[in-house]
Structure 1
Amino acid sequence: MRRAIAWVMVSILVLAGGYVYADAQDWVPGWFTAEPFDVPQAPFVTQEPVAVASPSGTDAVARIDTDAPRPSAAEVQALAEQVRADSRTGASTNISVVDYLDGTVYADVSAADPQVPASTTKLITVVAAVAELGADFTTTTTVAWVPRTRTLTLVAGGDVLLAADQGHHGDVDDAEDAAQGWAGLGDLADQVVEALADSLGEDVIVQIDDSDFPGPAWPAEWPQYAFDMGYAAPVTGLAVDGARLTDDNYAKRASDPSVHAGELFVEALEARGVAVDGEVTRASSPVADDARGREVASVDSAPLSEIARHLLSVSDNTVAEQVARVLAIEAGRKATPTGEAKAIIASLRELGVDVTGLELHDGAGYSERNQISPATMTSALLAARDEPALEGLLDWLPLAGLEGTVATRYEGLAPAGYWRAKTGSLTGVTSIAGVVVTADGRPLAVAILADGMPYGQEAPKAAFDDLLVALAECGCEG
């Protein structure tokens, strides 16, 4: 039955323009090519093609059956305890499995004990930011003009996914690509030329102002290898394509993303006939709004919902940290790791999330001092379920067997098509959190975290996935 559902899903998605995550090398797992049978629709799949350029945000839960049979708590608890007892994991493995619809606890293996969460931290960051700011929230990048000094100032607003030239503004075939390049420096350059048509006969000076984001640009908790290997860039409130210097996902990053963006802005201006004098510089001191000059150009980022989809799908560290710092500013705090941590926890607490023992030092999950319990993870998923701004959360989480970091992990396994999840891994840390649908159609919020593990991810991942397979195949009515 599941093969048939997946086959239908693949056919629809191909017709809709292709929904396969780019890092999965543009091919669909073979499990989805089996011969179809006449079976009911799967909970996480719709039988109408989706308009991926402007998704509704509610497709993933549209078919969930609120009357679906519940699993046996005793059986699920036994399955969870087997994961901790497994030689591939250990005593530091903590698990929470609760009913996504009403919060009934089915498994609690030290679920309230905080531990290092790795990139599942991003799930917490997204829930807090969207709950506080709204799914439609955008940031604004501006350009100001001071005629006396003939200076154009590119002012950081928090968009680190700008295009080098013109943005697409949502006109894309694949929703997973929407956040990247939504707005562009070319858009700003066009507006500058239009606004200053009579003032551009002489050279202009270009500077950048990212003083709203005091940093540190590279969080003290982040390892140097993350920059060296292209896993993240310094976070300055202004960047083109996450400060990548080539088109590769893990490309070398600019050491100063703001100045790099300023240099690309100069290129966009010069391509439109504007003469620029000298090198791009950073404003020598924070520029007050009334001293920045007259605003002559502005662009808005992608909606926060699309940014959330992007960062959860590909586990974008730079974007996650930037979202956390924007949240801090909007909450009246400084855009620093300390400010963002306070803002995230305050937002979660107001949403009703159990924040007992929650400790954060970054918004992306690189810090080994972050502490989040599995119970907080599942509590956040349940709180998000009832928050209108977060109605699209399950769609933003990548679908096992098809999207993002779980695109190929569940090939041929029961969770493919039935499990939306955020993964996490650091040296000695393996984690995953999301919502899985049982064979009986019951959605379960699941969080599995293990720290203090030996080097390597394959063994603990396999143990975790044994539990998820069992849950996805579960017909274990209580």
Structure 2
Amino acid sequence: MRESETTERAGDTPAASPFAGILSTVRRHPLAWIIAGSAVVLVVLGSGAVALGASVGTSASASTLPSASSTPTPTPTRPVAAPTRPLPVVAPAATKIRTCSVSGLAQDGRLGNLEAQVVNAKTGAVLFDRNGGKPGPTASVLKTLTSAAALKVLGPDYRVSTTVVKGSAPGQIVLVGGGDVTLSRLPDGQASFYTGAPKIQDLANQARQAMGGQPITSIVVDTSLFGGPVWQPSWDEHEERVVEGSTSYITALQVDGDRNDPTAIESPRTTDPVGRAVQYFQQYLGTNVPVTQGTAPAGAQQLAAVQSQPVTALIDQAMSVSDNTIMEELARLVAIKTGAGNTFAAENAGVISALKGYGIDTTGIHIADGSGLSGDNAVPPSYLTRLFVKVLNRENGLGVVYDGLPVAGQSGTLGPGYARFTGANAAARGAVHAKTGWIDHGYTLSGIVTAADGTPLTFAVFALGPVSDNAKQAIDTLVTGFYHCGDNLTNN
């Protein structure tokens, strides 16, 4: 029930009322009533503030309580926090829109069944891919994998030794092949094809001196380090050994890679590389004593030794001119060192075991030989683009592989005389460092491009199937396209 307000005007005579007694009491005891009245006012004000606060909720406005006697006084209220707002979602970084396409170049019929991939070596982004994850035959591009395996397992400073030890009979010596195919038959002062190669003449001189004048009665030849067969079954022997003269039988003892011409890049090879080496060893010893095949006695005293150049030098020369025989030697030594065995069949397990040390997935890789001659080798282009990033960055000593790569228009199998990167493709000369490859039904190129915009790209291009020699020009044109596009290369 709401109480009505009453107003008393000055000069009016108060009428008798029920409150007359109360007023009389107030006049008699004013202080007590003032105190009581103040208490009542406080109670009323407090209850009013509570009621008003409930009615306005969380409003931030000041509340006032009406008063009949004075100017309204604002009642303080507790500050109210602003409503919580959702945080804005962080927008993803903008994706670069690439517009430089080589799609037309990739459709060139000369490329056959194309497998290719291009990676930005700085960011790891795949810029271009055509069946890049599909394992295919690499041809001599496989030498990159063999080199990486040799560096990992043998080490950059490893040297291959050819030795002579005492035999089991008086006056008998044993010539032990260590797998060095660069050992040369040329006399001191004459340089063979293999730079800095050791001489079998030096080996013979050391052995004769170590015998101290004791006559040599017989020679045993130990080539047991490498197991048979001496020729990979999938290779074309007539083409590679005789006609092209690019590859020898793979034996633990031979001289000059068994070339007929020890100074030539390519020269026909024989069917008896061990016999040729022994012939020159006897010649420098100055003896025609009997020669037999056998093995060195355990713990036999060493009489003589010569060593190859370090692995780094062997890789540099083999990569530049694509020497098959050095790479077969290295693959076999890797297989032996890893405990996989000493045959062609053991190279798959040995090389793959070594490659796993680089931390790149080896799924799909199959190693049939060390040179890449076999069509049974299989490597996806995507593996090569990742490996070449490490080569470019010189990780784990792989810089030697980069240093040995042919350079377009300048050196090796991309240099003068090889008709590569000619005409309009000459724009990429000097910018492409890559390993070439060719076998029946396959032309390949893989390596590094420093693009026109400065972007380092790693790439692998396989032109497979019914292709011919003109696939090389189609590959060069496609790689020149990579060069022009750089980081703007699109997969469309």
TM bin, normalised by shorter chain, reads 0.7 to 0.9
Q: Which residue of 2 aligns with 1:344?
A: 351
Give the counterpart of 2:439 among 421, 426, 435: 426
Distance 1:86 1:411, change over 3 A: closer
Offset from partner CA, 1:26-82 (integer Å, 9 cap, x none)? xxxxxxxxxxxxxxxxxxxxxxxxxxxxxxxxxxxxxxxxxxxxxx78446x31x33
2: CA distance, partners of 1:125 / 1:331 = 14
Q: Which residue of 1 aligns with 2:87?
A: none
When structure 1 is superposed on structure 2, of 222-231 and 318-327 the one drifting more is 222-231
Distance 1:73 1:392, change over 3 A: farther
Shift of 1:374: 0.6
Residues 407, 430 of structure 2: 8 Å contact kept = yes
1: CA distance, partners of 2:409 / 2:331 = 29
- What code does the residue aligned with 2:444 have? S
The answer to whether structure 1 residue 84 and structure 2 residue 106 are counterparts is yes
Task: Note the aligned Cα RMSD (angstroms).
Answer: 2.4
Residues 187, 199 of structure 2: 8 Å contact kept = yes
Q: Which residue of 1 aligns with 2:28?
A: none
Listed as ranges, the matches of 1:303-382 within 5 Å are 303-382=310-389
Shift of 1:420: 1.1
Q: Which residue of 2 aligns with 1:255?
A: 271
2: CA distance, partners of 1:152 / 1:287 = 9
SS across alignment from 1:334: coil
The answer to whether structure 1 residue 197 and structure 2 residue 212 are counterparts is yes
Distance 1:398 1:259, change over 3 A: same
1: CA distance, partners of 2:436 / 2:379 = 14
2: CA distance, partners of 1:337 / 1:242 = 18
2: CA distance, partners of 1:374 / 1:228 = 31
Give the counterpart of 1:131 among 152, 159, 169: 152
1: CA distance, partners of 2:482 / 2:268 = 40
2: CA distance, partners of 1:401 / 1:73 = 33
2: CA distance, partners of 1:319 / 1:182 = 12
The answer to whether structure 1 residue 465 and structure 2 residue 473 are counterparts is no
Residues 242, 318 of structure 1: 8 Å contact kept = yes
Distance 1:343 1:417, change over 3 A: same
- What code does the residue aligned with 2:452 have? A
The answer to whether structure 1 residue 157 and structure 2 residue 178 are counterparts is yes
Q: Which residue of 1 aligns with 2:59?
A: none
Distance 1:310 1:167, change over 3 A: farther
Shift of 1:382: 2.1
- What code does the residue aligned with 2:159 have? T
Give the counterpart of 1:233 among 241, 245, 248: 248
Distance 1:424 1:473, change over 3 A: same
2: CA distance, partners of 1:377 / 1:212 = 31
2: CA distance, partners of 1:102 / 1:129 = 28
Listed as ranges, the matches of 1:108-187 within 5 Å are 108-146=129-167, 148-165=169-186, 179-187=194-202
Q: Which residue of 2 aligns with 1:389?
A: 397
User: Which structure 2 segments of 5+ residues have no match?
Assistant: 1-95
Distance 1:132 1:465, change over 3 A: same
Shift of 1:415: 2.3
How does the TM-score come out when normalised to structure 1? 0.75
Shift of 1:457: 1.5
2: CA distance, partners of 1:191 / 1:94 = 53
SS across alignment from 2:148: helix
Q: Which residue of 2 aligns with 1:63?
A: none
Residues 176, 296 of structure 2: 8 Å contact kept = no
2: CA distance, partners of 1:203 / 1:420 = 52
Listed as ranges, the matches of 1:5-84 within 5 Å are 74-75=98-99, 78-79=101-102, 81-84=103-106
User: Which structure 1 segments of 5+ residues have no match?
Assistant: 1-71
Shift of 1:322: 1.1
Residues 206, 262 of structure 1: 8 Å contact kept = no
SS across alignment from 2:367: coil
SS across alignment from 1:277: coil
Distance 1:157 1:118, change over 3 A: same
Shift of 1:131: 2.1
Look at both structures and tell me which one has the larger radius of gyration over its CA atoms: 2
- What code does the residue aligned with 1:263 have? Q
SS across alignment from 1:345: helix
Flag the structure with more relative contact order, 1 or 2, with Cα contacts below 8 A and sequence separation at least 6.
1
Residues 111, 464 of structure 2: 8 Å contact kept = no
Q: Which residue of 1 aligns with 2:308?
A: 301
Residues 135, 303 of structure 1: 8 Å contact kept = yes
Offset from partner CA, 1:192-243 (integer Å, 9 cap, x none)? 13212331xx343223211010121111121122122212111112221101
Shift of 1:476: 5.9
Shift of 1:386: 5.2
Residues 415, 472 of structure 1: 8 Å contact kept = yes
Offset from partner CA, 1:153-209 (integer Å, 9 cap, x none)? 1111110011114578xx99xxxx89545211122122113212331xx34322321
2: CA distance, partners of 1:352 / 1:462 = 34
Q: Which residue of 2 aligns with 1:99?
A: 120
Residues 362, 370 of structure 1: 8 Å contact kept = yes
Shift of 1:150: 1.8
How does the TM-score come out when normalised to structure 2? 0.73
Q: Which residue of 2 aligns with 1:289?
A: 298
Q: Which residue of 2 aligns with 1:399?
A: 407
Among the aligned pairs, what percent are the same residue? Answer: 31
Shift of 1:477: 4.7
- What code does the residue aligned with 1:265 have? F
- What code does the residue aligned with 2:407 have? L
- What code does the residue aligned with 2:409 have? G
How many matched pairs?
A: 386
- What code does the residue aligned with 1:294 have? Q
Residues 144, 154 of structure 1: 8 Å contact kept = yes
- What code does the residue aligned with 1:228 have? V
Distance 1:251 1:306, change over 3 A: same
2: CA distance, partners of 1:99 / 1:167 = 49
1: CA distance, partners of 2:296 / 2:209 = 24
